[in-house]
Amino acid sequence: MDLRCLKFPGEVYTNELKVALESTFPRHIAPTLMSALNLHEVPPEMEHHDHGISRFYHPAEVRSGTTVFYLRFTNDGELFKRLVFRRRSPEGRGSLPMVMARQDEANPFGFSCWKQGDKGNPHYVSLAFPGKTGEFEPVFIRIFNGSDLFFKVEARQFGETLVVSSNPIDEPPELF
C-alpha cells in the first residue's frame, strides 16, 4: 500500500485542485484510534489544535481518479467530518477560475464566487461528509482553463475507508 501522509493527498485536477478528509473534535475529546492500520504514526503537520478544537487529516492512497482515505478514529459520534478542497496557484500564474455546484442548490459556490468580505477563503471549500441527508451529494466543478473543464466528485464510506472519485465529464450539468 502506498499511503500518502499529506494534508491534501488527493488530486481532483492536477496539483491545482486537491482534496483532503478532515475530522474535527472538541479539544476535550481524545479520539480513539482505529487498530486495523498503523495510522497513529502520521506526521504532526496532519494535526491542528486551535480555539478549543482539534483537526486531524487522514492519510490516503491515490489511484487514477480515486482517492481512498483511511479513517483514523472510531468515535464517529463525537466528530465532524468534511472534505476540504484546496485551489492552489501554479508558480508564476494566478489561480485558475473555478466554481462548484450541487443539484439541490440554487447557485454555484466557492472559489471564484468568493467576494471580498465573504466568510471563508477563496482557496478552500469545505463540504460536510456525509452531509444533511446522510449521503454525500455529488458536487460538480467547472474549471475555466481556456476551454471549460467539468468534473463530478462523489464520496462514499466503506467501513474504515472513504472513497472519493473525481471524474471529468463531457456534458456539463445545467447548474452553471
pLDDT in tens, 3-23: 888 889 998 988 889 999 999
Residue type, 131: G
Give the E-state strand segments of 5-116 in sequence order: 10-13, 17-26, 47-50, 53-57, 60-63, 66-70, 80-87, 98-102
Do the domain assignments include residue 142? yes
CA distance 99 to 86: 12
Using DSSP bridges, classify how beta strands 60-63 and 66-70 pair: parallel, antiparallel or unpaired.
Answer: antiparallel
Do the domain assignments include residue 3? no
Do the domain assignments include residue 47? yes
Do the domain assignments include residue 65? yes
Domain holding 23, by residue range, is: 10-168
Do the domain assignments include residue 66? yes
| Angle (CA) 121 9 97, round 5° | 40
Do the domain assignments include residue 1? no
pLDDT in tens, 81-105: 899 999 987 665 667 889 999 988 8
pLDDT in tens, 34-51: 765 555 567 777 888 888
Do the domain assignments include residue 162? yes
Do the domain assignments include residue 133? yes
Contact 90, 15 (CB under 8 A): yes
If pLDDT is split at 50, 70 and 90, which confidence band does 154 have? very high
Per the structure, the count of domains in the chain is 1
Identify which of 76, 58, 75, 56 has the alpha carbon closest to the alpha carbon of residue 67.
Answer: 58
Q: What is the pTM of this model?
A: 0.88
pLDDT in tens, 66-84: 999 988 877 655 678 899 9
